[in-house]
Amino acid sequence: MTIQLSRRRLLQAACAAPAMLVPSLLRAEAAYPGKPIVVKVAFPAGGPADESIRAAAVVMKRSLGQNVLADNLPGASGSICAMNVLRGANDGYTLLGTTGIDFLVAPLTIASAKYSPDKFRLAGFSGISDFILVSNPSLSFKNVDEVIAYAKNPKNRPLSLAHWGPGSGPHLVGADFQARTGVRFLEVPYKGAAPVTSDIAGAQVDLTFIPMGGPTYGMIKAGRFRPIGVASKARHPSLPDVPALSEYKDLADFEYSQWAGVLAPPNTPDAVTARVVEAMNAWVGSPENRTRRAVNLQRAIEPMTMAQAQAFLSNEHTKLTRIAKSLKLAGQ
């Protein structure tokens, strides 16, 4: 009798043990975040990506109930910062703030960028701007059909297309445009966006793809850029008369944007990632974001689930990898 009772109690205790662990596990997950969070920003302080991530961090702090601190670690197209976050703990207390194209393409162009972009977990965008094809003011192209017709006429001089270096956003967008339309431009690489802006306005080069935003809009309104088409699904509300490039037969789904966002490192627990996604969605719906978007003429951002965010990252990675490989970009 005593032996049977003892066995019964042992079995009851064994069955109760997992149930007793469940509340403690739930408390451990619910405890995130229990201390300040650091977002490692892959670009210098004061730049557009840094400013948007810092603005988002203010709202993230309200949502998460903990300080969210930005720590800049620039270099090598953001890959130094990405590698630093990759080597850290995947507990949600060290996140990556970077720009999409640089983050996704760096492993194909920089030998030391030894990470798989699609293994990171996108939490959300701090800002997003569509690329727009513009010409210098001396050219009379009214739409993309006129550009293509001119470029395909062997009697005309080659049109030049400026971008800011191999593997940069404008380089990849321009490459896909040429591949899909069958035109060939004389590509002119620059070291950064500023000299491209200057030489387009000064009619030293013919065309470029540049992110839409306040400065670009100002150059268009001042007559120093001539807008041809926006690389998006829909027209930009600030330029309703400028077509979306995807309206054209050969450019269906031609969508390219410069986005900045926050990502968690690979293998971050789902519960932790979900809280960061929730915080980024709080930023998306905040008055601060609406004001910033209006000032910078950025595309409206929609809240995303974890699955939607990861699907976007995967699709972007596939698209940009295809273009980069077609260009045979080599690691440096």
Over the stretch 43-93, which tens digit does the pLDDT of each residue have?
999 999 999 999 999 999 999 999 999 999 999 999 999 999 999 999 999
**Residue range 275-298: average pLDDT?**
95
Q: Which helix (H) or strand (E) holds 95?
A: strand 94-99
146-155: long-range contacts at Cβ-Cβ below 8 A with a sequence spacing of 24 or more? 147/183, 147/207, 147/228, 148/181, 148/182, 148/183, 151/183, 151/184, 151/185, 152/182, 152/183
Q: Do domains 36-129+258-326 and 130-251 have the same CATH topology?
A: yes
Q: Which CATH number fits domain 36-129+258-326: 3.40.50.620, 3.40.190.150, 3.40.630.10, 3.40.50.880?
A: 3.40.190.150
Tokens of 127: 């800002």
Buried residues in 2-12 as b, exposed as e (16+ CB within 10 A): eeeeeeeeeee
The pLDDT assigned to 21 comes to 45
* pLDDT > 90 in the chain, percent: 85
**Which of 154, 328, 131, 161 has the alpha carbon at shortest distance from 245?**
131
Cα–Cα dist 108/86, whole Å: 17
The β-bridge partners of 163 are 189
The pLDDT assigned to 1 comes to 44
The pLDDT assigned to 332 comes to 52
Is residue 16 predicted with pLDDT exceeding 60? no
The pLDDT assigned to 17 comes to 47
**Residue range 138-143: average pLDDT?**
94
What value does the CA radius of gyration of the chain take, rounded to a whole number of Å? 24
Neighbouring C-alpha atoms within 13 Å toward the C-beta of 235: 11
The more confidently predicted of residues 29 and 289 is: 289
The β-bridge partners of 258 are 129
Tokens of 261: 């966002």
**Residue range 142-148: average pLDDT?**
95
Instruction: Tell me how crowded residue 192 is: count the other CB atoms within 10 A of its CB.
Output: 10
DSSP state of 245: G
Using left for φ > 0, alpha for ψ between -120 and 50, and beta otherwise, residue 117 falls in alpha
**Residue range 318-329: average pLDDT?**
93
**Which of 236, 165, 219 has the alpha carbon at shortest distance from 174?**
165
What residue spans define the domains of the chain? 36-129+258-326, 130-251
Residues across the chain: 332
> Which segment of 2-6, 77-81, 109-113, 168-172 scores lowest on mean pLDDT?
2-6
* CATH H superfamily, domain 130-251: Periplasmic binding protein-like II (3.40.190.10)
How does the average pLDDT of the chain come out, rounded?
91
pLDDT band of 26, cuts 50, 70, 90: very low
Side chain identity at 163, as an amino acid letter? H
Is residue 188 predicted with pLDDT exceeding 60? yes
Over the stretch 204-253, which tens digit does the pLDDT of each residue have?
999 999 999 889 999 999 999 999 999 999 999 999 999 999 999 889 99
**Residue range 160-183: average pLDDT?**
96
Cα–Cα dist 52/21, whole Å: 41
Cα–Cα dist 313/321, whole Å: 12
- pTM here is 0.88
The more confidently predicted of residues 182 and 10 is: 182
Name the phi and psi angles at 237, rounded to 5: -60, -25
**Residue range 190-196: average pLDDT?**
92
